[in-house]
Amino acid sequence: MSVPDTAATAAAVVDEILSAVVADRTVLEEVTAGVLARGHVLLEDVPGTGKTLTARSFATALGLEFSRIQFTPDLMPADITGSYVFEEETGEFHFTPGPVFANVVLADEINRAPPKTQSALLEAMGEGQVTVDGETHDLPDPFVVIATQNPVEQEGTFELPEAQRDRFMIKTSLGYPDADGTRELIDRRADRDRPDPTVDPVVDRERVLELQRVPEGIAVEGPVRDYIGDVCRATRTDGRVDVGVSPRGVQRLFEVSRARAVLEGREYVVPEDIKRIAGPALAHRLVLTPEASVDGVSRRAVIDGVLEECAVPAMEPPSADQ
């Protein structure tokens, strides 16, 4: 697919989701960029903001198989990955896939399960496979995890370890709707005779795979690559940060910046693409110092400060023969 066609298709997907989900378009575009870049998404928000509906709507609009895993304190790793079951008729064990075997997996309230269960997603998110009793099983392609967590109610929850957070390409928040969105929610509730908004498929699995190949051809010139490196390295020397962006985080920012350019219909990345996506792509990877945490410093504020400090390269659009 061409870049303009991909941008138009992605816009149509977002438009379709907005027909059912009351949310900021920018947030949905951030999620879309993560999907195009073959990444996973973490939605952190208070209850009732539409996180589950958003994940389900993305799966439907993309024509992909959807699965929901409700994370609870008693959830076991096998409840996610699946397990071997003994068949009396044959006298053999056969593998029964768990709910992780879907194209779009909603890990709902992921921080309510203990770390042992959370770690069951590590291999799936990093390698696109799961290993059960020494046997490796490939997951469907494409494979996207959309996890949700509640930042307010922390009793009985387990904070995601740094290694788990680093597996997510994008972390974003739906937030509260604006005045028009709030009125739309009220009008939907008042008119019970009108069917609830539903999402129709815009593309299918094969088209999604085509869409995901497009960012690989996006040009990233040398000065822009250096800018990505400068931004990520600056997080490691910031006095408010104990652990900065990892090498994996550098690669993920590079990948999602190309997807961001695709959404703009461009065949090359500009510094503005990096500025727009750096917060969702990098903030959750930072570990703040105890002093910064006590002072209420936010990770997003650190990224904003780093972006202000790093020199933005001047660049010309790549020539057609490059």
Burial of 70 by CB count in 10 Å (0-12 exposed, 13-18 middle, 19+ buried)? middle
Residue 253 and residue 138 share a domain: no
pLDDT of 265 reads: 96
Residue 164 and residue 42 share a domain: yes
The overall average pLDDT reported for the chain is: 90
Confidence of residue 301 (pLDDT cuts 50, 70, 90): very high
When comparing pLDDT for 197 and 13, which is higher? 13
- Let me know if residue 114 belongs to a domain: yes
Percentage of the chain beyond pLDDT 90 is 63
pLDDT at 169 over 70: yes
Residue 122 and residue 52 share a domain: yes
CB proximity list for 294: less than 8 A, separation 6 or greater: none
pLDDT at 193 over 80: no
Confidence of residue 87 (pLDDT cuts 50, 70, 90): confident
Q: Which of 55-59, 88-92, 141-145, 250-254 has the lowest mean pLDDT?
A: 88-92
* pLDDT tens track for 110-137: 888 888 888 888 888 888 999 888 888 9
Q: Work out how many domains the chain is built from and give that number.
A: 2
pLDDT of 88 reads: 80
pLDDT of 11 reads: 97
pLDDT at 223 over 60: yes
Helix/strand/coil (H/E/C) assignment for every residue in the chain: CCHHHHHHHHHHHHHHHHCCCCCCHHHHHHHHHHHHCCCCEEEECCCCCCHHHHHHHHHHHCCCCEEEEECCCCCCHHHHHEEEEEECCCCEEEEEECCCCCCEEEEECHHHCCHHHHCHHHHHHHHCEEEECCEEEECCCCCEEEEEECCCCCCCCCCCCHHHHCCCCEEECCCCCCHHHHHHHHHHHHCCCCCCCCCCCCCCHHHHHHHHHHHHHCECCHHHHHHHHHHHHHHHHCCCEEECCCHHHHHHHHHHHHHHHHHCCCCECCHHHHHHHHHHHHHHHCEECHHHHHCCCCHHHHHHHHHHHCCCCCCCCCCCCC
- Let me know if residue 255 belongs to a domain: yes
- Domain of 278 in residue numbering reads as 218-309
- Let me know if residue 319 belongs to a domain: no
Residue 173 and residue 35 share a domain: yes
Q: Which of 15-24, 140-149, 157-166, 199-208 has the lowest mean pLDDT?
A: 157-166
Confidence of residue 319 (pLDDT cuts 50, 70, 90): low
pLDDT at 89 over 70: yes
Residue 223 and residue 187 share a domain: no
What average pLDDT does the segment 219-225 reach?
A: 95
What average pLDDT does the segment 87-95 reach?
A: 82
Residue 43 and residue 185 share a domain: yes
- The CATH number of the domain where 271 resides is what? 1.10.8.80
- The CATH number of the domain where 185 resides is what? 3.40.50.300
